[in-house]
Amino acid sequence: MLKPVLLAAIFACTAAPGFAAQTTYQINKDHTDVVFTVNHIGYTMKHGWFRDISGTLLIDTLAPEGAKLEVTIKSGSVDTNHAQRDKDISKPGWFDVAQFPDIRFVSTKVTRLGADAADVTGNLTLHGVTHPLVLHVKLNKAAPSPFGQQPTLGFTATGSLKRSDYGMTQLLPIIGDQVDIVIDSELSASK
């Protein structure tokens, strides 16, 4: 459920004008979506979002494999487009937002797969449990923003996890165990 892959997105920007070698980027939460999908009783795939996301990416464009990314998502910002369901999955057995208010991802490794793709491995802490997570990242664009000209990165990342690995076993197997993640994000260079 997270946004780990920001680092990989920067691989292709080493030659982009306006991009310094060592740069810190901030997640633009107004232009970032973290979407998850889980099987609902075999009838449909149910989608949900997290609305409160923050994070920092430190990258040297001359050595992007050494990038460092830290992302925090507030678990209480979960939104499944159904108020009662959001209340239910905020309780113990699900996200337990009172005890575990933060979902965190900290990168540990970036594996470049080409000019505009990478795998970003990191530690995901969800529901008080930490496991490695790999996200597959595609760089969409690295260029100065037309709104202010500050260096900006855009990417799409995908991954999946089993919620049972994180102690979230409520209603298994009726509600699916595999959770698929899609992240679309813009990051802007710190001023």
Q: Is the pTM of this model over 0.75?
A: yes
Domain boundaries, the chain: 4-189
CATH superfamily of 4-189: Lipid/polyisoprenoid-binding, YceI-like (2.40.128.110)
Q: Closest Cα partner for 75 from 48, 115, 57?
A: 48
What's phi and psi for 43, nearest 5 deg?
Answer: -85, -45
What's phi and psi for 3, nearest 5 deg?
Answer: -120, 50
- C-alpha angle 140-141-144 in degrees, rounded to nearest 5: 160
d(CA 93, CA 169): 7
Q: What would the pLDDT profile of 98-157 be if each residue is shown by its tens digit?
A: 999 999 999 999 998 988 888 999 999 999 999 999 999 998 998 888 888 889 999 899
